Amino acid sequence: MAKQEYEIRDVDLNGEWRLVEGGYNGTMEKILSYDPETGNYTRLLKFPPRTEMPEVLTHDFCEEIYVVDGYLTDTKKNLTMAKGYYGSRLPGMEHGPYSIPLGCMTMEFRYQDPNKPISKDCSLLKNKLGAPR
């Protein structure tokens, strides 16, 4: 199985916003597509105003991020990412901590490294996301 196939659709009318498990300050996510065999998924994230994410993050998967609205600042790198900014992180790349004073929305693409065999131990497979509605 792979991610679901959808013709272009209005994400405001499809799927549900839900609290991010372990998220900060009521951070919400909307899963847009999900592959249960690999754990790969695409989601929107909404960070409320005054969100502080105090730790440095790393993943065992690839992550691409696009800032849809607002901005966030990586306080360790002194890097502010505003609407229209994009990043691509390979496994192990450090990012954060983050400060999000006015709120922000991002789109994330998370997937296992395409240059390696699918790993059943990848943390993406520990997410219980389910298919978007």
- Per-residue pLDDT of 47-76, as tens digits, reads 999 999 999 999 999 999 999 999 999 999
Average pLDDT of every residue of the chain = 91
- Examine the pLDDT at 114 and tell me if it is beyond 50: yes
Domains of the chain: 18-126 (2.60.120.10)
pLDDT-based confidence at residue 133 (cuts at 50, 70, 90)? very low
- Predicted TM-score (pTM) of the model is 0.90
pLDDT per position as a tens digit, 2-30: 777 777 878 887 789 999 988 888 999 99
What local confidence, expressed as pLDDT, does residue 66 receive?
Answer: 98
Contact status, residue 61 vs residue 122, Cβ threshold 8 Å:
yes
CA distance 128 to 19: 13
CA distance 32 to 41: 7
